[in-house]
């Protein structure tokens, strides 16, 4: 399979049984409270994927981060930019994977994580507003990615939250002719130089535009490959399903 890449600003881990690995390459370290919606999904005590709080009880992430996983082995960490310090743990009640998710093509790569109990909102823990179904942005619009994923090709994990800015790519390039497998549920973003992007461990994490959740890290061509964008699940395109399941 193809691997995720956000080589300009951020790093995030993905699932281990598929090559959809993402991490943030380049970018900057986040300040405390800078991304209060960002969560770390911990599998058996180790960072596994990113995600975004959309309410006190629901998180949006990638389907490939939750498929075949056990809720009892997953813990959510909220409210910190340093996985070795601070933050609050939240237990998982249920994974709700989009019913049309296709593990082979990564179409409909979105999942909702229901928490066992509501988290307490504060300065470092807040929900993010989601893009609506009609949301659209022109090519070259700057978007922000964030995550705890790998920071280099050696898959080194910093335990620190990083962020970066990437550009949205036009459908003139991001279409099935140039990128086999891309669908209307996917958007392209990246940096032409390939020096900034997502990497392993960034999967499921947020792509935001105007402080709204616009995309979810899904798949790509490696970590920051020159001239190759990363693919994100288009939140607006699946907004009605999110509303139906979470009432958010």
Query: Is 182:237 a contact under the CB 8 Å cutoff?
Result: no
Identify whether 64 is a catalytic site residue.
Answer: yes
Distance of CA 198 to the CA centre of its chain: 9
CA distances from 48 to 129, 164, 198, 227, 243 (A): 24, 20, 14, 27, 26
**Which residue among 7, 52, 111, 203 is the active-site one?**
203
Q: Which residues touch 85 (CB under 8 Å, ≥6 apart)?
A: none
**Which residue among 37, 47, 48, 64 is the active-site one?**
64
Identify whether 170 is a catalytic site residue.
Answer: no
Cα–Cα distance, 140 to 246 (Å, whole number): 32
Identify whether 47 is a catalytic site residue.
Answer: no
Q: Which residues pair with 129 in a beta bridge?
A: 212
**Which residue among 52, 107, 109, 111 is the active-site one?**
109
Which residues are identified as catalytic?
Answer: 64, 109, 203
């Amino acid at each position: 399979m193809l691997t995720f890449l956000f080589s300009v600003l951020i790093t995030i881990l993905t699932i281990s049984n598929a090559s959809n690995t993402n991490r943030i390459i380049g970018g900057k370290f986040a300040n405390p409270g800078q991304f209060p919606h960002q969560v770390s999904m911990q599998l058996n005590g180790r960072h596994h994927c990113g995600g975004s709080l959309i309410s006190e009880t629901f998180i949006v992430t990638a389907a490939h981060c939750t498929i075949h996983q056990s809720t009892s082995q997953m813990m959510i960490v909220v409210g910190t930019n340093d996985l070795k310090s601070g933050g609050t743990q939240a237990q998982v009640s249920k994974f709700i994977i989009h019913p049309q998710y296709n593990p082979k093509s990564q179409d409909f790569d979105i999942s909702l994580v229901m928490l066992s109990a509501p988290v307490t909102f504060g300065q470092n823990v807040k929900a993010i507003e989601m893009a609506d179904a009609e949301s659209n942005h022109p090519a070259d619009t700057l978007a922000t990615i964030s995550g705890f994923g790998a920071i280099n090709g050696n898959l080194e994990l910093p335990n620190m939250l990083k962020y970066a800015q990437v550009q949205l790519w036009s459908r003139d390039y991001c279409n099935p002719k140039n990128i086999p497998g891309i669908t209307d549920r996917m958007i392209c973003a990246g940096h032409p130089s390939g020096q900034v992007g997502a990497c392993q461990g960034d999967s499921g994490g947020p792509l935001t535009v105007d402080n709204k959740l616009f995309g979810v890290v899904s798949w790509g061509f490696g970590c920051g490959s020159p001239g190759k964008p990363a693919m994100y699940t288009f939140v607006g395109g699946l907004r009605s399903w999110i509303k139906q399941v979470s009432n958010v």
